[in-house]
A = this chain, B = another copy of it.
Amino acid sequence: MNLKSVGTVPRPVQRLIDQLSRLPGIGPKSASRLTFYLLRAADEQTTTLAEALVLLKSDTSFCSICYNIRSSDADPCAVCSDVNRDTTTLCVVEEPLDVMAIERAGMFDGMYHVLHGSISPVDGIGPDDLKLNQLLDRVNSGDVKEVVIATNPNLSGEATAMYIYQQLSGGRVRVTRLARGLPVGGDLEYADEITLVRALEGRQDM
């Protein structure tokens, strides 16, 4: 037996492996495993998945009010057009995924505003690259009483929160921020120093 290079993978198989490998968190090994799983699965599963991928782009758009993802056939989005929600509270998030996470928690019944990113000078992303002016317009023209800033607890999320706070402070709206502290179910021993500092600073009476 001598050394031999690859090239025995059929093109349709290699193509799907390559495409799946481009997705975040999916390496070449997972991509192969998924591809060979689909080869054995019913045709229906592969076609339904392909269809869902195509419709993801063609059937969605951004809400004209909160800039969250919405179905193409309904503007404003389900949240913005829900008359049972509290229009005086506005939760500001970076991404549509964050809206989903907060909705899943099932505790918030106010409105959202999706910035589509965070201020990050090193990446060349300034306030004008985000939906920040739209946020200020909304706050200034509507009946908003509280803006809950729910940007990520990292450097660019903090910078974005500070920017929003500066723009809105002195106005008539209350500006709040999600609490920082120990994650529920987490282990104190594994918490990083900054989280512990925040948890101590924000300690509450029992």
Contacts and interface: CB of A to CB of B under 8 A. Distances in A.
Nearest to A12: B59
A11 B34 CA distance: 24
Interface in A141-174: none
Contacts of A74: 10
How many of chain A's residues touch chain B, expressed as a range?
35 or more
Interface in A1-48: 1-13, 15-16, 18-20, 22-26, 30, 32-39, 43, 45-48
Given A47-B54, A71-B11, A97-B32, A23 B37 contact: yes
19 contacts: A3-B106, A8-B78, A8-B82, A12-B55, A12-B58, A19-B52, A22-B45, A22-B49, A23-B34, A35-B56, A36-B97, A38-B53, A39-B96, A43-B57, A46-B56, A46-B57, A50-B53, A50-B54, A53-B53
